[in-house]
Chains A and B, each alone.
Chain A
């Protein structure tokens, strides 16, 4: 009963804090909209995003059809594909890649970080030296190398971006685990004969989760940006799959022709979504930091 009450109180506190911060609230609403758009892309998109019609290429925004109905809300691209439909389906790719890669990197990095922090000694040395090696390598270069070898594709992109993120989680999880493993609850678990795996992932992990969540929210933003950059370079997903980065890349030829809308809409989609994840991350960090709460 008490626990339920505490949970309800926590949710209330969370919502109250969120409502108080207008930027965070707006960002979360934006992200919910984007997530909903991605989930219901097939229902929301007015056209097949890959259906081209070269007779109606590079149509400007608010182009009407012969009956006077809206046809191309934000224009059409160089092949006459509806940019609005492509933008909607592009949200799918950005979010799938963003969340999946963070999940892959987060699980891998957290597991390794907890192991390194808990066991220390040579296990710690090996994992942390691997992390150092990866950090010494520019990430985009590493991603390009992997994608050239593995080939383009959604799964490969997620793996590459996920592998690129594990180090951050591992370092934080390790540092947090080191500080937690000397605490009484861990000593007590050991004294009761609980095995190491259960202590690491049953007792320590829930206590170090907050900073990892904050990192993850920032990370989604950087992964979306990296996906856009790789798609821009033609190394993301195959050309038939619409992505914001690829839309931006395709618009390059039209900048000189003053077709501003072609880079503008995918650019804004990337900008606003990345910005929203960063603002939410900032707010989560402040919200979950007990020291800042005391100051308040």
Chain B
């Protein structure tokens, strides 16, 4: 009987873990529930949106991009662009301070930009891999106490928005720290000061003594709550003020509670399955098959994306036609329909008929778990759709932070992998910049298509809007026909928001708590 009671207790303990252990937050504290922990707190090595969301509260940027695409002052109050479009000079606000107590000057800003590019430090995050490749960053220099100039390799239409993604940190503190020390001990320049990071549990911030932009709450706590049901339970119990990635299956329960509601927005994150084009996977049968554009095209017809949205994401969707968000997409491209018969026909034509066991070829599809909306189930559904057309797909669901992200960063995930890439509505070029160069950080598929990459020269060498749009559409057609992505959807985002606070989500997944208030 004792063992029976223990067994029942274990089962119930596992079903309802730690629901009642944390007290409701005090009035001056905003608590966020996140599905995964951050990999590190190094401002030059950010590779996921939710880490960036934490970092933007600790670090200031020169400018920041609003949801609508306006470029708003942050640490800088004004900017000017040189006639040749290669130099951006920013003037910092007066009286800025670092969290180490030192004055924040142009020298700190220049140091921050140059540190990201330091080859010895070998950063590979969003700034080094995406921003710097896209703008062809050359150097940053301090022109005076408050003026810093960013030098690019050539003119770039979205440089200002991309520069806004680089976090400014403070030279004196960071020069003294090793790379490892800096990864867990951020000395910021933003509205909130780092207090502590209990790995796998929480990151605690308090309002800085001299915040560069106004903010309301005195403290912000980012709690790591991996299980969706536990996040929901914590929200309903009033222990957290906002949760990200609320499970679509729990929307009704949250809305029915008296303590919280779900805020749903159509996100700009592009969810896709990457077809790795690198030689390392071409030696496997499946890896070799997806080197062929005909096979990639055939697989587009095999997956019922609207059904995935409707059933697994609880949100009807229109399938993406490519890399760019709908408002900027190619006007004449139609999403690939779900038609397994066409998929089978095209696979036959591509030289991959079914064998005696009904299998055309075997392939592995890797994915991380917990980062995206219902990601594990979405991936298992995709594997089933591919199985149905004779592509025997081995689904590998991996730990997000410890296993999957390192594979992605090293471009070793594959031969197929599931991921989402943060997007924007303010420019098609921002979305396309994932593939700004063959060696750009987010080109995880190692796609080398010349027809795509030569388009960037055309775009960056003209200011003629008509020529730019024409070239964008040509590139999007190349991507549609031969691209390295299996097109999925733009992720809808579900945030659970406590009734005790006012907070509104953004479409681009950026979480701003600066304007949040207590009701």
Contacts and interface: CB of A to CB of B under 8 A. Distances in A.
Interface residues of A toward B: which range? 35 or more
Contact of B14 (A229, A254, A256, A257): A229
Contact of A275 (B4, B308, B312): B4
Contact of A270 (B3, B11, B376, B384): B11
Interface stretch (B50-58, B106-114, B244-252, B267-275): B244-252
Contacts of A53: 384
A254 B250 CA distance: 7
Contacts of A275: 4, 7
Interface stretch (B36-44, B224-232, B287-295, B425-433): B224-232
A32 B101 CA distance: 72
Contacts of A222: 3
A257 B308 contact: no
Nearest to B11: A267
B10 interface: yes
Contact of A54 (B227, B253, B311): B311
Given A78-B377, A267-B11, A271-B11, A256 B232 contact: yes
Interface string B376-406: 1100110010000000000101000000000
B71 interface: no
A133 interface: no
Contacts of B233: 256
A263 B229 CA distance: 13
A232 B377 CA distance: 16
A238 B233 CA distance: 27
B15 interface: yes
Contact of A239 (B8, B228, B381, B397): B397
A163 B455 CA distance: 60
Given A78-B249, A78-B377, A253 B14 contact: no
B478 interface: no
Contacts of B11: 228, 248, 267, 270-271
The binding surface of chain B is classed by DSSP as helix
Contact of A225 (B10, B250, B252): B10
Interface string A6-40: 00000000000000000000000000000000000
Contacts of B247: 253
A78 B384 CA distance: 14
A243 interface: no
A253 B380 contact: no
Contacts of B380: 52, 79, 239
Given A79-B380, A248-B15, A253-B247, A270 B7 contact: yes
The binding surface of chain A is classed by DSSP as helix
B315 interface: no
Nearest to A224: B7
Given A52-B381, A79-B380, A263-B15, A257 B3 contact: no
B204 interface: no
Contacts of A257: 249-250, 252-253
A84 interface: no
B307 interface: yes
Given A252-B227, A256-B229, A218 B3 contact: yes
B15 A252 contact: yes
B395 A239 contact: yes
Contacts of B249: 58, 78, 253-254, 256-257
A267 B8 CA distance: 9
B369 to A, nearest CB: 8
B381 to A, nearest CB: 5
A129 interface: no
Contacts of A288: none
Interface string B1-24: 001100110110011000000000
Given A239-B395, A253-B249, A256-B229, A79 B377 contact: yes
A235 B273 CA distance: 25
Interface residues of B, number: 31
Interface string B230-268: 001100000000000001011011100000000000000
Given A252-B229, A253-B247, A278-B4, A54 B14 contact: no
Q: Which of A53, A249, A253, A263 has the most CB of B within 10 A?
A: A253
B312 A54 contact: yes
A114 interface: no
A239 B7 contact: no
B384 A52 contact: yes
Interface in A61-100: 78-80
Given A52-B384, A239-B395, A240-B395, A253 B10 contact: no
A79 B250 contact: no
Given A55-B311, A225-B10, A239-B376, A255 B3 contact: no
A274 interface: yes
A255 B7 contact: no
B252 A255 contact: no
Contacts of B311: 54-55, 57, 80
Contact of A253 (B8, B229, B252, B384): B229
B410 to A, nearest CB: 19
A218 to B, nearest CB: 7
Contacts of A58: 249
A223 interface: no
Given A52-B381, A248-B14, A271-B11, A256 B4 contact: no
Q: Which of B7, B247, B369 has the most CB of A within 10 A?
A: B7
A270 B4 CA distance: 11
A221 interface: yes
B3 A54 contact: no
Contacts of A239: 376, 380, 395, 397
Interface in B302-321: 307-308, 311-312
Contacts of A240: 395
Nearest to B8: A271
A51 interface: yes
A258 B257 CA distance: 13
Nearest to A239: B397
A232 B14 contact: yes
Q: Which of B228, B249, B250, B397 has the most CB of A within 10 A?
A: B249
10 contacts: A79-B384, A221-B7, A239-B397, A253-B249, A256-B250, A257-B249, A257-B250, A257-B253, A258-B253, A270-B7
Given A51-B384, A229-B10, 13 more contacts: A52-B381, A54-B307, A58-B249, A221-B3, A238-B397, A239-B395, A253-B228, A253-B247, A256-B229, A256-B249, A256-B250, A267-B11, A278-B3
